[in-house]
Amino acid sequence: MRKILTKKFFERATLVVAYDLLGKFLVRKKGRKEIAYMVTEVEAYDGHKDKASHAHRGETPRNKVMFGEAGVWYIYFVYGMYDMLNVVTGPRGYPAAILIRGVEGIRGPGRLTKKLGITRRLNSKNAVRVSGLWIEDRGIKVRPKEIKKTSRVGVNYVGSVWSKKPYRFIFKKDYDH
DNA sequence: ACGATGATGAAC
DNA sequence: TTCATCATCGTA
C-alpha cells in the first residue's frame, strides 16, 4: 500500500492530523532519486487562539499560508540559519499547521530541512509529487500506546498555559540512528 | 551556557 | 528605519 496524502487528509482537525502523521513517510525527490523517511515527531499549531502559533497575532506576509488551503507547505526561516518545515491543516481561513520535527534517522527540524535540502523555495507549494516533496501512507498502523504526547519545544516565552499544551507527538521507541 | 546569523514584525 | 526577538543547533 502506497498512497500520497491529499488535501482531504490535512483538512481535518489539526491535532488529529498531527497524530495521524506519525508513521507516514515524508518523501523527497532529488533528481531521479526518491528518498522516503518515516515521520517520528510532529508539533501542532492550532488556530489563532494558540499563543505559540505564528498566527496568534493575525495574518502577516510570513504566516499567510497558514490561513489558506490545507496540504500546503509552510516553510519559514528562524535563528538566521534554519528552515522549518510545516504542513498547513484545517479548513481554509483557519490558521493551523504542523511542524515536522523529526523523521527516522534525523532528529530536529533544522537538521531535517538541511539534510533534505528543503528551503523557503517550497513555501506555499502543495505537498504533491510535482513539488518534489510530499507525504505517503505506506500502510503502517500506529497504536496510541506507541505515541508520547508532550509540550512543544522552544515556546516557553508564551507563558505556561499555551507552552504546556500537549501538542507534540513523538514515538516512544527511538528511531534515531 | 552561549554564540552564530538574518528575517520578521512592531514600534518609533 | 531601528531593534528585540526567534517553532535551532553545535560546541563547550
Chain centroid, CA A129 distance in Å: 17
Each residue's pLDDT tens digit, A32-42: 999 999 999 99
A53 touches strand C (CB under 7 A): yes
Q: Which nucleotide is nearest to A60 (CA to C1')?
A: B9
Distance from C-alpha of A88 to C-alpha of A15, rounded to nearest angstrom = 12
Question: How many other β-carbons are positioned within 10 Å of the β-carbon of residue A17?
Answer: 24
Using the CA of A63, give the nucleotide whose C1' is nearest. B8
pLDDT at A150 over 90: yes
Residue nearest to nucleotide B5 (CA to C1'): A80
Kindly report which amino acid residue has its CA closest to the C1' atom of nucleotide C9. Answer: A110
pLDDT tens for each residue of A124-141: 999 999 999 999 999 999
Render pLDDT for A71-127 as a digit per residue (tens, 0 to 9): 999 999 999 999 999 999 999 999 999 999 999 999 999 999 999 999 999 999 999
Residue A62 has pLDDT above 80, yes or no: yes
The three cell numbers locating residue A121 = 523555495
Kindly determine whether the C-beta of residue A64 is less than 7 Å away from any atom of nucleic acid strand B: no
A5: closest CA among A120, A116, A133, A117? A133
